[in-house]
Structure 1
């Protein structure tokens, strides 16, 4: 089954391009830029491979893996701001955001 072993990289590129971002880079991670914002986008199939650094990050995974990834990120509490896009086979997607930071007030 493709959704288990292959990260949704093409779907991620399409989503960000459709949102008006300029997409650069190859592989399972790329930069999405629009105005002043630069987001590092990583396509994943599991939650064990999240990076430790960054400022703004978006993880794109299959929808059936999104909740698990969200739990992992909440548990590890990385220093960067993050969001998750859960992609369905048909191309629809849902965005899960990080909980508000206590220091952001």
Structure 2
């Protein structure tokens, strides 16, 4: 896995903060919590899958990598709910949820 860039992690933190989550950093991983939901957030520069246990995972990557990350997760078919956020340099982003995911917060 490539080294995570600081701007990507900062953008991920800003997105979750704007969504009303309380975000904590644990090394390169982020932990976002709102109400009862805790989301393990992993900023990645290349296709990867999260290594940490938990019920909810979100991989945050650059927009050009988002499809590859999503496809890798779909093939792996993990036993947790997941989402992929693809971020543009200008800060715009798109969210892709796992098929059949319950995304209510």
TM-score, normalized by the shorter chain, greater than 0.5:
yes
Distance in 2, matches of 1:88 and 1:63, equals: 6
1:6 paired with 2:2, answer no
Q: Return the TM-score normalized by structure 1.
A: 0.84
* Pair 1:37–1:91, CA change in 2 (3 A): same
Distance in 2, matches of 1:94 and 1:44, equals: 15
- Alignment-derived partner of residue 100 in structure 1: 100
Q: State the structure with more CA Rg.
A: 1
- Alignment-derived partner of residue 55 in structure 1: 55
Please state whether the residue corresponding to 1:25 is helix, strand or coil.
strand
Give the C-alpha shift of residue 30 in structure 1: 1.2
- Alignment-derived partner of residue 83 in structure 1: 83
- The answer as to whether partners of 1:40 and 1:57 remain within 8 angstroms in 2 is yes
- Deviation per CA, 1:21-65, whole angstroms, max 9, x where unpaired? 000123321110011111110000111353263210111000000
Distance in 1, matches of 2:80 and 2:51, equals: 10
- The answer as to whether partners of 2:29 and 2:42 remain within 8 angstroms in 1 is yes
In the TM superposition, what are the counterparts of 1:12-51 in structure 2 within 5 Å?
12-51=12-51
User: Number of aligned pairs?
Assistant: 98
Please state whether the residue corresponding to 2:26 is helix, strand or coil.
coil
What value does the CA root-mean-square deviation take over the aligned residues?
1.9
Q: Return the TM-score normalized by structure 2.
A: 0.84
